[in-house]
Amino acid sequence: MGKMKVYDYLNAKLVFFLDVESKDDALTQIVDKTVAGINLPEGERFKKAIFDREKIVSTGIGMGVAIPHAKLTAYDDFFISVAILKTGIEWNALDGTPVRLIFLIGGPDDKQTEYLKILSSLTGVLRDEELRKNLIGASSGKEVMSLFELL
């Protein structure tokens, strides 16, 4: 299978630029726009799963990044949506940093290994401060895609 590339799971249609004031707003918008963007089935169930997980444990991993995720039997493949926030919002992150970048992962609930590989690739590349700065400064889905293309 080779190295897991985050790029392979991204889609320029699933890159959103949000001006929101709360975590709930951000989650609602990224899920709703994802559902609309790729005609995602079981959108309400997906949203509920995302919110339920967030209640249990914050998905703010630090560095201004949050990675909410949910897996449903209805899904065959993984996808990643990206939201770039105009201003940082409070996310109860481990390091207390407000979140500016959200990576929403959805996919099938029976491919745990693939899921963990995606998650570790994503957190790995996001440790690069330069990449995070460039993402926050991006102005189009294409630009976001090209930042991941060479990783």
Residue 138 CA: distances (Å) to CA of 16, 79, 94, 107, 126: 11, 20, 25, 26, 15
69 is catalytic: yes
Q: Tell me the backbone φ, ψ of residue 48, rounded to 5 degrees.
A: -60, -40
Compute the radius of gyration of the chain from its Cα atoms: 14
Residue 144 structure tokens:
């976001």
Q: What is d(CA 83, CA 73) in angstroms, rounded to the nearest whole number?
A: 24
Report d(CA 56, CA 61) in Å as an integer: 14
> 47, 69, 71, 132: which one is catalytic?
69
- With beta carbons less than 8 A apart as the criterion, state whether 14 and 82 touch: yes
Please give the Cα distance from 3 to 22 (Å, whole number): 35
Please give the positions annotated as active site: 69
